[in-house]
């Protein structure tokens, strides 16, 4: 399968983005803001407040942008076209035990969280009974423009393999901007603000369809999908919309539990390895069989306050239910994997060769060609290890002498963990000061060094923080996420699923998060980033 959609010629990329946002009067601004927030509240484009009760008694709109934000049409189309390649790449990584052991086994020596995940996976991988795996992915990108005048490029920030959120709310954001355009024409403030430039985004529909595909592949009509969630989840509406979509469009029931609940409830049938959950509300009812385990937690150390949560995670991994993601697929999404892929020949080793399993690139497509590797590498920015290798020593020297060029990343998801610019040298010094036992690995090896992406200047927008009634105008940076769904068979010497399920591999909509340029970190729930939609130019 070629990297671009067959028959599609890429749209030209403009040299600059238009000055934004367009001018409207104060009365027009207030009217747009009122229409946007009431649309959000009436369509579940919402978050729970921090002090929410159970059941909740009030909510507010999710952080939003008043206008859609300009984004090059050609780069938007290209990012979506690349997603099946990325899906298949990370599926192949998850199936390569030797590669994961080599890379993550090293990280495990200096990162306790990744170490527990890797060792937990190793403890059960020889006995897994479910060869099907499901990935709901998101590849995140920023626009990059060197020296303020070069061509606009698309550079990957990271690839997410677990708990890729905001699919439902992203669809609602696009619907809100289209509604504002239909009802007001944005007061003819800009010729760019027209419906053909506002792409239909069906991320909610497509992600739910991917979960439904896995449920169907499991083959039991009375089984349900388990959402493993965090206690006190504020982004609950994003998850609930998926549940409603699964029920209304596909007739699939879902059930929600935290790890704490599952410690007491989860049972595995000794013979069939089916995952069974007794009802807390109907103790006399038959247990519910689980077809798919969909993790919206389990990606941060906070989700594992004790060893009991790790024991539960391994128990779920051993069950017949299809995991989204498996522990292997979660490991594949580590920042260290992203860095190692950039080393010479590593990417090509996963793309080429008839011995590689089919992952939906087309029947018999063991070798998809050098063009695919070139297309993926175009989206990458500089990445280095922080170890004792030649590349690692080079990276350390750059980090100490030119820290303003870089961000230092640990093996963490969820935001708020990165170290930027001039904070890097003292952070490295602090890691060196940590006591180490004889022969213990350097703590720096748990991090990677990444060249900073430089977004273009001159784009602003009106951003509304959840719970507030006034928007603020900010110089903004927008991050494009492309969702992907991947259902694949990993036999690893086990008997292939008897249903003969073929791989599902597709893009599944997009997410645009927009934040003020002054902030390095994002975060929708705390109001730093707003859920936006692209205006294609």
* Closest among 533, 417, 450, 453 to 142, alpha carbons compared: 453
The reported pLDDT for the residue numbered 365 is 47
Same domain, 340 and 411: no
- Mean pLDDT, all residues of the chain: 92
Q: Which residues are catalytic?
A: 138, 158, 160, 165, 335, 409, 413-414, 513
- Report residue 449 as tokens: 């060094």
The reported pLDDT for the residue numbered 363 is 44
Separation of alpha carbons 277 and 268, rounded Å: 9
State the DSSP H helix or E strand holding residue 173, giving kind and residue range, or none if neither.
Answer: helix 167-184
Q: Give the DSSP per-residue string, 22-68.
A: PP--HHHHHHHHHHHHHHHHHTT-EE--TT--SS----EEPPEESS-
- 504: number of Cβ within 10 Å: 18
5 occurs within a structural domain: no
- Over 60: is that where the pLDDT of 234 sits? yes
pLDDT, one tens digit per residue, over 302-319 is 999 999 999 999 999 999
Check whether 317 is labelled as a binding-site residue. Answer: no
- Report residue 244 as tokens: 């409603």
Whether residue 447 contacts residue 412, with contact meaning beta carbons closer than 8 Å, is answered with no
Given the DSSP bridges, would you call strands 472-489 and 460-464 parallel, antiparallel or unpaired? antiparallel
Same domain, 336 and 210: yes
pLDDT, one tens digit per residue, over 136-162 is 999 999 999 987 677 999 999 999 999
What is the band of 71 on the pLDDT scale with cuts at 50, 70, 90?
A: very high
Check whether 417 is labelled as a binding-site residue. Answer: yes
Lowest mean pLDDT among 44-48, 140-144, 463-467, 527-531: 527-531
We report the CATH number of the domain holding residue 403 as: 3.30.1490.50
pLDDT, one tens digit per residue, over 448-500 is 999 999 999 999 999 999 889 999 999 999 999 999 999 999 866 444 445 56
Q: DSSP state, 459? A: B
- Over 50: is that where the pLDDT of 240 sits? yes
Give, in order, the Cα–Cα distances in Å from 429 to each of 150, 383, 402, 425: 36, 21, 15, 6
The reported pLDDT for the residue numbered 168 is 98
Same domain, 416 and 511: no
Average pLDDT over every residue of 325-333: 98
Same domain, 444 and 480: no
Which residue range(s) make up the domain with 71?
A: 26-381+453-536
Lowest mean pLDDT among 15-29, 103-117, 424-438: 424-438
Same domain, 398 and 428: yes
Lowest mean pLDDT among 108-122, 123-137, 141-155: 141-155
Same domain, 465 and 445: no
* Closest among 378, 521, 322 to 86, alpha carbons compared: 378
Separation of alpha carbons 329 and 135, rounded Å: 8
- Over 80: is that where the pLDDT of 355 sits? no
pTM metric for this prediction = 0.95
Average pLDDT over every residue of 218-237: 97
- Over 90: is that where the pLDDT of 55 sits? yes
Domains of the chain: total: 2
* Closest among 455, 505, 491 to 475, alpha carbons compared: 455
Same domain, 330 and 418: no
16 occurs within a structural domain: no
Average pLDDT over every residue of 51-76: 95
Q: Give the DSSP per-residue string, 116-148.
A: HHHHHHHHHGGG----EEEEEEEEEEEEE-GGG
4 occurs within a structural domain: no
Same domain, 400 and 512: no
9 occurs within a structural domain: no
10 occurs within a structural domain: no
Check whether 513 is labelled as a binding-site residue. Answer: yes
- Report residue 76 as tokens: 């938007």
pLDDT, one tens digit per residue, over 385-409 is 999 999 999 999 999 999 999 999 9
- Over 50: is that where the pLDDT of 6 sits? no
24 contact partners, CB below 8 Å, separation of at least 6:
32, 186, 187, 189
Separation of alpha carbons 528 and 225, rounded Å: 32
- Percentage of residues in the chain with pLDDT exceeding 90? 84
21: preceding bond cis by omega (within 30 degrees): yes
Check whether 320 is labelled as a binding-site residue. Answer: no
312 occurs within a structural domain: yes
Q: What angle do CA 446, 447, 450 make, to 5 degrees?
A: 160
Last residue of a domain, one of 452, 472, 492: 452
Separation of alpha carbons 162 and 295, rounded Å: 7
Average pLDDT over every residue of 77-92: 96
- Report residue 332 as tokens: 């594949």
Check whether 460 is labelled as a binding-site residue. Answer: no
Same domain, 495 and 433: no
260 contact partners, CB below 8 Å, separation of at least 6:
231
173 occurs within a structural domain: yes
19 occurs within a structural domain: no
State the DSSP H helix or E strand holding residue 228, giving kind and residue range, or none if neither.
Answer: strand 224-228
Average pLDDT over every residue of 6-17: 73
Whether residue 2 contacts residue 376, with contact meaning beta carbons closer than 8 Å, is answered with no
Same domain, 339 and 439: no
Last residue of a domain, one of 452, 481, 511: 452
What 3-state class would DSSP assign to 364? coil
Whether residue 456 contacts residue 143, with contact meaning beta carbons closer than 8 Å, is answered with yes
Same domain, 345 and 444: no
Whether residue 406 contacts residue 421, with contact meaning beta carbons closer than 8 Å, is answered with yes
Same domain, 376 and 426: no
Check whether 524 is labelled as a binding-site residue. Answer: yes
- Percentage of residues in the chain with pLDDT exceeding 70? 92
């Amino acid at each position: 399968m070629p990297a671009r959609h067959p028959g599609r010629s890429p749209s030209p990329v403009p040299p600059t983005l238009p000055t934004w946002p367009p001018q409207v009067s104060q009365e027009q601004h207030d009217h747009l803001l009122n229409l946007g927030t009431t649309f959000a509240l009436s369509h579940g484009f919402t978050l729970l407040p921090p002090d929410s009760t159970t059941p909740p008694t009030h909510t507010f709109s999710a952080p939003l942008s008043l206008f859609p934000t300009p984004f090059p049409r050609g780069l938007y189309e290209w990012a979506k076209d690349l997603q099946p390649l990325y899906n298949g790449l990370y599926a192949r990584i998850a199936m390569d035990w030797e590669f994961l052991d080599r890379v993550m086994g090293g990280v495990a020596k200096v990162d306790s969280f990744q170490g527990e995940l890797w060792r937990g996976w190793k403890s059960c991988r020889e006995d897994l009974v479910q060869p099907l795996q499901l990935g709901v992915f998101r590849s995140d990108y920023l626009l990059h423009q060197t020296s303020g005048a070069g061509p606009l490029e698309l550079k990957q920030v990271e690839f997410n393999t677990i708990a890729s959120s905001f699919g439902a709310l992203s669809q609602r954001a696009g619907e809100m901007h289209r509604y504002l355009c239909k009802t007001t024409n944005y007061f003819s403030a800009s010729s760019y603000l027209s419906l053909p430039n506002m792409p239909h985004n069906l991320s909610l529909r497509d992600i739910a369809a991917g979960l439904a595909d896995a449920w169907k592949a499991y083959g039991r009509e009375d089984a349900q999908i388990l959402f493993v969630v965090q206690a006190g989840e504020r982004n609950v509406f994003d998850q609930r919309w998926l549940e409603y979509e699964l029920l209304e469009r596909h007739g699939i029931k879902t059930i929600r539990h935290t790890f704490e609940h599952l410690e007491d409830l989860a049972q595995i049938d000794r013979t069939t390895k089916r995952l069974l959950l007794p009802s807390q509300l109907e103790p006399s009812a038959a247990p519910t069989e689980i077809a798919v385990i969909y993790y919206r937690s389990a990606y941060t150390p906070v989700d594992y306050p004790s060893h009991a949560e790790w024991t539960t995670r391994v128990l779920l991994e051993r069950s017949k239910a299809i995991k989204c993601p498996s522990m292997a697929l979660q490991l594949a999404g580590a920042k260290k994997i992203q860095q190692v892929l950039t080393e010479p020949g590593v990417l090509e080793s996963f793309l080429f060769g008839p011995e590689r399993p089919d992952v939906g690139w087309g029947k018999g497509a063991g070798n998809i060609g050098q063009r695919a590797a070139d297309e993926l590498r175009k989206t990458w920015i500089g990445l280095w290890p922080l170890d004792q290798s030649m590349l690692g020593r080079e990276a350390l020297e750059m980090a100490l002498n030119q820290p303003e060029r870089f961000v230092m990343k640990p093996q963490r998801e969820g935001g708020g963990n990165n170290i930027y610019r001039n904070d890097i040298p003292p952070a490295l010094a602090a890691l060196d000061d940590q006591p180490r036992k004889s022969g213990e690995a350097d703590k720096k090896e748990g991090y990677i060094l990444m060249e900073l992406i430089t977004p273009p200047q001159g784009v602003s927008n009106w951003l509304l923080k959840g719970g507030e009634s006034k928007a603020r105008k900010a110089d903004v940076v927008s991050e494009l996420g492309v969702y992907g769904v991947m259902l694949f068979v990993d036999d690893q010497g086990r008997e292939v699923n008897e249903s003969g399920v073929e791989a599902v591999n597709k893009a599944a909509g997009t997410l645009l998060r927009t934040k003020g340029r002054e902030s390095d970190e994002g975060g929708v729930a705390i109001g730093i980033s707003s859920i936006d939609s692209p205006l294609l130019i």
